[in-house]
Chains A and B, each alone.
Chain A
Amino acid sequence: MQNFLKAVINLFTYKPLQRFKVEEYSQEQNQSFENAGGYDGEENASEEIDWQKILMQAGAEQVQENDQGNCGAAGTSQQANDTASGIGKPTVVIKRRNRQKKGAGQGSQGVGIDEGDIALIKNGMVASNIAANIEYVKQRFSVPKNQDIVIREFNIAKRIKAFLVFVDGMIDKTVINQFVLPQLMDTANFKDFSQGDILGYIMGNVISIYQVSRIKEYSKIIPQILNGVTALFIDGCNEALLIESRGFEKRSIEAPRTENVIRGPQEGFTENLRTNLSLLRKIIKSEKLITEILPVGNKNRINCALVYLDDTADPELVEEVKRRIRNIKYDFVESSGMLEQLLEDNPFMLFPQVISTERPDRAASFIMEGQVGIVCEGSPFVIAVPVTFFHLLHSSEDTMLRWQYGTFIRLTRFLGVLIASLVPGLWMALVQFHSEMIPTPLLLSILKMREAVPFPVVVEVLLMEVAFELIREGGIRVPGLIGQTLGIIGALILGQAAVAAGLVSPILIIIVAITGIGNFVIPNYSLAMAVRIIRFFFIFMGAVLGFYGISIGLTILLALTCSMKSFGVPFLAPFAPKTRRSSDLIVRKPLYKQSVTGNYLDTVSRRSGLYHKRGE
């Protein structure tokens, strides 16, 4: 099962570069030594191997860092060595790096990199000697080949050496230009500083940036640099200062594209994590709203944030979500779509087990109910767990309108689900097995209409259904609003043409159109896709055994749905296992009668202010 899952995921992933073996590296390195020209071969050789090992260690530590989460220091060098031997690194890059580094290393060799520094760097900590740090940073980022990374060397107060490392394009230039460099270069700021902790002095007195922190470990510094934070290294200091300077291009807040409501806010999430979190915070102004940020993805390491209310969400649920996210051993997690698939309970189930939304108000309502929201960088969709079937059928419009309208809309949606999944199957069963149910005048006219059609009913239905699916899928590629209208209108026109050509009977067009419309009513895209697939299953069962077949299909499907769990919550809760407050499913009660939390999540009650015992 695991292998199968891995194989499927492999099929859809971005393939990494080819891997090379370690032995080949050393061979080529020896060759390159001769090529480069005269120098102290042994020392250089040892130096190169050193850096290589250190780089390898750094890479391994990073992996371990992922495994252990935020807390916990990097592993021991012993461990690092063991893992290092097993990992192959791309050779070509190292080779060239070694050559260039040799040039640089020669220059810096004379500065006096002592054993202590090298040991520190081996352990992944910042060294006191600035030259060692510069070398290490240059090796890590493959500068100057990698032109995105800027290393700005300067002198603090004209006497102390320091350098800034940042990624050009990810930072806000005004921060560096106006708030860091001028202040650090100004000797006036350092008048009363002579000895001691320069970093502390800078933090407290010089730099006027709102968020700074001192970090020792490279395993934390490098990811932050990649995130757009600037790192300041000072000679003689074995800590670096991380300066918050993020300022990359991002999309402004627009109306959500996929979920439209008539009466409700028109702000949607964007791809930026901070913006999304701020949108959530605007709605839930509670001090108990916790945001935990975790990195996801071995190689691309985007950030994803867990958002939950500390006094409402089940602590075990939060732990489980964190555990699952940490255990994702996937190299490239691009967005919340992939995260959704990697988090769910049972990948073979047809129904989705997490719910994703583009609207902050909806995400906020999930969080308030005690669910955990996961905001992922790079995608404007926020996912919430756990989910039940009825959540998939709700939209925020139901709550914004009055309860009568909300109930009416919900009933319509429920009807839409039934129609979209069952109507073609029922039609097949009706026409083939139970033709006595059709009223006689209708039957006679159907007979007339189908007399000229050369295909049996099964072929007709499958033809029209497949054509409709093709049109729908094609309509998504057509840009703009045309795409959506293309779906239905195109299908109807195609159907009309098919009728005129005598390929299908007119009544089938109506059936297919009703099915499609029923499908459009479903608010959640994943559920709509699931219903589309289920429809084919019912067509099959109806064509083979009529109403009996459809009953069998319904039984199997519903029984399997009843057994589905999403993060420990049964999928059809609160209907199937009945809990105390199980209203607000199909019929909406007036707001004053509705409580906010769903009891099935085993949450603490917010209304009473007391903490309920478990199992009550």
Chain B
Amino acid sequence: MKRVLAVALLCVMAFMLAGCYDARDINDAAYILLIGIDRGMSDKFRVTFKFPAFEAGGAQEGERGGGESPGGGLSYKTMTIDAPSFNAALELANTSIPRALNFMHAQFIVISEDIAKAGLVGEFLAPIVRNSSIRYSTRLLIAKESAAEFVELLEPFGGSDITRMCENLIKQAQETGLFADLTLYDLHDCMTSPYHQPIAVLAAVNKGENFIEKGPKWDTKYNIPGDYYAGDVPRKKGSKVELLGLAVFNGDRMVGKLTGHESRLLAMAKGNFKKGTYTIPDPKRPELNVDLEVREARRPDVKVWFEGEKPFVKLKLYLEGDIHSIQSGIHYETPEMLPIIERAFERFIKRELDKAIEKTQRLNCDVFCFGHIAVKKFATIQEWEAYDWNSHYKDAEIYTEVDFKIRRTGTMIYSSKIKYSEEDK
């Protein structure tokens, strides 16, 4: 009995040593929240990390502030390092940062445009994906000029939590449709896939250059909403960073960009569109416009058929919407007049959609995911891969059709005319 106890005790003590290896205290790690990757000057890659500053606090601060949240007063530190690869960057970082870097909580990976254009994304992502700590659900952004600047300037806008800022920024993709919620999983999936080509969200620092302070006022023409690339939105102040539009990749090389408006059309065509606002010229008085809130009514109908090697695609979108404003005051809210707006919008969307599709066809990148339907015509993988849909995309003939219905008109069912004192008819 004593021998059994002694042996058991020895085993238990030896077993306790197992905790020495992987058990790390949470305070012994630096949790990287944002990663930025650029072309380096002194070495191949320039990697930027952002992590929370290691300061004590907590309960005392809560007492002082009264109803303050315990995360109040969090600040962040950034570090940029040049290294030959990602893993080397990690190790080099530990020469100065006293804690081990941990990527489990990374929210964004920001890649600069020149890396993307040079086709280095695949090269860069290969070790990241193999590493078990970077997760497939991390979001991926393509930064316009410098990822380091983007990472540094991404700060919480109201509140002090970067995580919530990142989550909510991405959530706006569903509210407006001007960009998409894309993760590393999507990118990696598309990069290796014969079905479609990858896209990634464009991001940039908005330096306010487009916001013209002095000069003549804009005249009656206006832009299509969201028809900008990231960083070009004419605004001042607000958050320093901006997400807008999509980048189009061929394999792992970025070959083109889509504006916010085109991204929305892409979302519509793929069936990911939730809602967005459109401003179209009033059909009867083109200098004024009509605001519509548009939603997807049904998933779009896509048919693909082949004649020989040439694919034919027929795409039909189903949209529905509400009228948000009729600036001209014309009484459109009758069963006879409503179809005028509907047809006008349909024509508008069809025109823009054709333009967008043509743009992608020029780039020979099937980001509209027509390949998903085309594959149903093939029986085995060998045939599908031999056909190579991605190369045939530029030859495809694509017919589009839009179906739009207005459902509600808001709280006004009739617009009374605005009366002026001297009748100006």
Binding site for B on A (CB under 8 A): 1, 4, 431-433, 435-436, 439-441, 443-452, 456-457, 499-500, 505-506, 540, 543-546
Contact = CB atoms under 8 A, between A and B. Distances in A.
B15 A544 contact: yes
Contacts of B57: 448-449, 451-452
Nearest to A456: B25
Contacts of B26: 431-432, 435, 443, 446-447, 450, 457
A545 B104 contact: no
Nearest to A446: B26
A448 B105 contact: no
Given A435-B104, A441-B71, A451 B56 contact: yes
Contact of B27 (A450, A499, A540): A450
Given A441-B164, A445-B70, A446-B26, A544 B19 contact: yes
A547 to B, nearest CB: 12
B41 interface: no
B58 A441 contact: no
A452 B59 CA distance: 11
B164 A433 contact: no
B104 A436 contact: yes
A457 B71 contact: no
A433 B107 CA distance: 20
A431 B31 CA distance: 13
16 contacts: A432-B22, A433-B23, A435-B26, A439-B163, A441-B161, A441-B164, A443-B105, A444-B31, A444-B74, A444-B161, A448-B57, A448-B58, A448-B70, A449-B57, A456-B25, A546-B22
B55 interface: yes
Interface in B145-186: 161, 163-164
Interface of B: 1, 15-16, 18-19, 22-27, 29, 31, 33, 52, 54-59, 69-71, 74, 102, 104-105, 107, 135, 161, 163-164
B54 A544 contact: no
A68 B226 CA distance: 99
A553 to B, nearest CB: 12
A543 B23 contact: yes
A441 B163 contact: yes
Those 5 A-B pairs whose CB atoms lie nearest each other, nearest first: A449-B58, A436-B104, A451-B56, A452-B56, A432-B23
A503 B13 CA distance: 27
A444 B102 CA distance: 13
A8 to B, nearest CB: 12
Given A440-B163, A444-B31, 6 more contacts: A436-B104, A443-B31, A448-B70, A450-B26, A451-B27, A540-B16
B10 to A, nearest CB: 15
B380 to A, nearest CB: 40
A433 B20 CA distance: 11
Contacts of A435: 24, 26, 29, 102, 104
Contacts of B22: 432-433, 546
A4 B1 CA distance: 9
Contacts of A457: 25-26
Contacts of A545: 18-19
Contact of B58 (A4, A505, A546): A505
Given A440-B33, A446-B26, A506 B163 contact: no
B16 A544 contact: yes
B25 A432 contact: yes
A500 B105 CA distance: 29
Contacts of B56: 448, 451-452
A103 to B, nearest CB: 55
B162 to A, nearest CB: 8
A448 B71 contact: yes
Contact of A432 (B24, B59, B70, B135): B24
A18 B127 CA distance: 80
B345 to A, nearest CB: 41
B59 A499 contact: yes
A444 B31 CA distance: 9
Given A4-B1, A544-B16, A447 B27 contact: yes
Contacts of A439: 163
A447 B15 contact: no
A506 B25 contact: no
Given A440-B163, A451-B54, A499-B59, A445 B71 contact: yes
Contacts of B163: 439-441, 444
A321 B56 CA distance: 63
Nearest to B30: A447
A506 B18 contact: no
Contacts of A432: 19, 22-26
A452 B135 CA distance: 30
B305 to A, nearest CB: 47
Interface centre among A1, A445, A457, A543 (most CB of B within 10 A): A445
Nearest to A437: B104
Given A435-B104, A436-B105, A544-B18, A445 B23 contact: no
A506 B19 contact: no
Contacts of A443: 26, 31, 105
A555 to B, nearest CB: 15
Nearest to B17: A544
B16 to A, nearest CB: 6
B58 A445 contact: yes
A291 B26 CA distance: 62
Contacts of B70: 445, 448-449
A443 B161 CA distance: 11
Contacts of B1: 1, 4
Nearest to B69: A445
B25 A444 contact: no
A436 B137 CA distance: 13
Contacts of A433: 22-23
Nearest to B27: A450
Nearest to B102: A435
Contacts of B164: 441
A452 B25 contact: no
B55 A448 contact: yes
Contacts of A456: 25
Nearest to B105: A440
Contacts of B71: 441, 444-445, 448
Nearest to B23: A432
A443 B33 CA distance: 12
Nearest to B20: A544
A452 B105 contact: no
A415 B384 CA distance: 53
A545 B58 CA distance: 29
B155 to A, nearest CB: 15
A448 B26 CA distance: 10
B22 to A, nearest CB: 6
Contacts of B52: 444, 447
Nearest to A500: B59
A448 B74 contact: yes
A127 B104 CA distance: 92
A2 to B, nearest CB: 11
